[in-house]
Amino acid sequence: MPNTQVDLPDINVWLALTDPDHAHHQRARYYWEQESVSNIAFCRITMLGLLRLATNRKVMHGQPFTPEEIWQAYRAYRALPEITFVQESWDVEKQMAKWSDIPDFSVTRWTDCYLAAAALTGGYRLVSFDRDFFAFGGLDFLHLIP
């Protein structure tokens, strides 16, 4: 059991949970039903990421959600008692600067850096299918292995 009371799922987890045809849907459901803590959070980045990716034809293999459908799915999540919405503190910027102010920081990792910093500074557990989060030291991280 994690030390935190809030899980902050990555966009890839929200997308897998939302799309029953997603390759990792069953693993995401298992996380939701068996491994999650009592509060599961969206932040602005994960909310926008879900809306953006779920309506993207290429990401959704030619069968994207309509904007109306994905808003309905998002609102259904937000109506659940275990769902919360977390706000970031100014400490997120400071932590991002610590992790990104290195010569070999990949500019493709800005969103990951933000999510990791939001989780670390907020005391949340980050949940993702992406193993790249292991690179962010001190992070409480649940790596979902499909």
106-132: pLDDT as tens digits:
999 999 999 999 999 999 999 999 999
CA-CA distance, 107 to 92, in Å (whole number)?
17
Which CATH number belongs to the domain containing residue 105 in this structure?
3.40.50.1010
**Please, what is the end-to-end C-alpha distance for the chain in angstroms?**
20
Sequential DSSP letters for 17-71: HH-TTSTTHHHHHHIIIII--SEEEE-HHHHHHHHHHHT-TTTTTT-PPPHHHHH
- Look at residue 2 in the predicted model and tell me its pLDDT: 47
Residue 62 lies in domain: 6-143
- Mean predicted lDDT score pLDDT of the chain: 95
In a domain, 1, yes or no: no
In a domain, 73, yes or no: yes
In a domain, 90, yes or no: yes
pTM for the model stands at 0.94
Helix 110-122 with 91-100: angle, nearest 10 deg: 130
Number of independent structural domains in the chain: 1
- Look at residue 117 in the predicted model and tell me its pLDDT: 97
Q: Taking residues 10-33, report their average pLDDT.
A: 97
In a domain, 32, yes or no: yes
Q: Which residues pair with 119 in a beta bridge?
A: none
The answer, yes or no, to whether residue 3 has pLDDT greater than 60, is no
- Look at residue 13 in the predicted model and tell me its pLDDT: 98
Q: Which residues pair with 142 in a beta bridge?
A: 127
**How confident is residue 1, by pLDDT bands cut at 50, 70 and 90?**
very low
